[in-house]
Amino acid sequence: MNLTNPIFTDADKAREHLEAVQWPNGPVCPHCGNVDAARITKLQGKSTRPGVYKCKECGKPFTVTVGTVFERSHIPLNLWLLASALMASSKKGFSAHQMHRSMGITYKSAWFMEHRLREAMKETVASSGPIGGEGKTVEADETYIGRKDDQSPSPQRKGRPYLKRKPGNIKRTVVALVERGGHVRSFHVESATKDSVREILFTNADRKSTLYTDDSRLYTELGKEFDQHRTVNHSAGEYVRYEGDKTVHSNTIENVFSVFKRGMLGTYQHCGEAHLHRYLAEFDFRYNRRSALGIEDTERTDDLLAGARGKRLTYRRIGEAGHA
């Protein structure tokens, strides 16, 4: 990725690049879906800003940013593309504080930009289908990070790092699935129960897969729904086992958690619980487009820009909690 590329310094070049990414076959009206080039006119003239088109089907004007996370933003489009490139290429994230210092914008604007870009990174089962499949291996596990927002310091120890314990787990819970050599899906749940894990597993993983987990009882019954289920006994110090030509472990998902936690603790440092799912989407996006899959920074950035279509995220929806 070349940060001296004009798309990062010139708003018109940035718009042209975004049009090429989002409209590879020509303009598409975001209002009515019209793709007939003969029924779309590019408006020109001194009183018309660059990049405005008019659809002859619905009679409405539009630009490439309408219907995307960039819509109605006063931040120049070249800065949006620069922010996209920085987030897409930073393995452990790029904090809003760093972005506001590097790009010369306010922290509030940088924080808002990053959450909008995380929205563009979000993937769904409907858009990409389940992971795994016949002859493939899926690893599942859960991890815990930070403390839940409803955990307040004990009055007797005010100002000290100890917490007043409440019933149940005080940590935020993340459940994730990863296909070996493929994609990952991560989810923030209230707690890791058989019901919550069942919904995630059965919705996101093909049951023709071989499922590898640790020895948690969460997966004892659920694993029977898959083609095969193998476990490693972490509580007994077992982390890998060989069964013929098969290597049984859950180290792939542990590595995913490792990168996520290093980014959250080292780069972002603080995240409101209400926004944890957005950070998970960010780290999943980069993992699913890692260099090992033949995807480099430029392609990863263009995938982010393409994912911005059909998604809106207003400041009111985000709220002001959980700055990072």
Tell me: the pLDDT tens digits for 235-266?
899 999 999 999 999 999 999 999 999 999 99
Quote helix, strand, coil % in the chain, to nearest 5: 40, 15, 40
Per-residue DSSP letters for 190-215? SS--HHHHHHHHHHHB-TTSEEEEES
pTM of the model: 0.90
User: What is the CATH number for 267?
Assistant: 3.30.420
6 — pLDDT class (breaks 50, 70, 90) = very high
3-state secondary structure of 41: strand
Q: Are strands 228-232 and 210-214 parallel, antiparallel or unpaired?
A: parallel
Tally of domains within the chain: 1
pLDDT value at 229 more than 80: yes
Other Cβ atoms closer than 10 A to 203? 12
More confident residue, 322 or 116: 116
74 inside domain: no
| Strand arrangement of the beta sheet that strand 137-147 belongs to | 184-189, 171-179, 137-147, 210-214, 228-232
pLDDT of residue 162: 47
Mean pLDDT of the chain: 91
pLDDT value at 323 more than 50: no
108 inside domain: no
260 inside domain: yes
47 inside domain: no
205 inside domain: yes
pLDDT digits (tens, 9 = 90+) for 299-313: 999 999 999 998 877
| Contact between 82 and 3 (Cβ < 8 Å) | yes
242 inside domain: yes
Least confident among 65-79, 124-138, 241-255, 287-301: 124-138
Taking residues 209-237, what's their average pLDDT? 95
Q: Kindly report the backbone phi and psi dihedral angles of residue 95, in degrees, each rounded to the nearest multiple of 5, phi listed first.
A: -70, 155
| Contact between 304 and 120 (Cβ < 8 Å) | yes
Taking residues 6-17, what's their average pLDDT? 97
109 inside domain: no
| Contact between 124 and 36 (Cβ < 8 Å) | no
147 inside domain: yes
**Length of the chain in terms of residues written:** 324
pLDDT value at 322 more than 50: no
The rounded distance, in Å, linking the Cα atoms of 291 and 134 is 25
Structural domain of 140: 127-272
pLDDT of residue 163: 46
pLDDT of residue 324: 42
Taking residues 47-75, what's their average pLDDT? 95
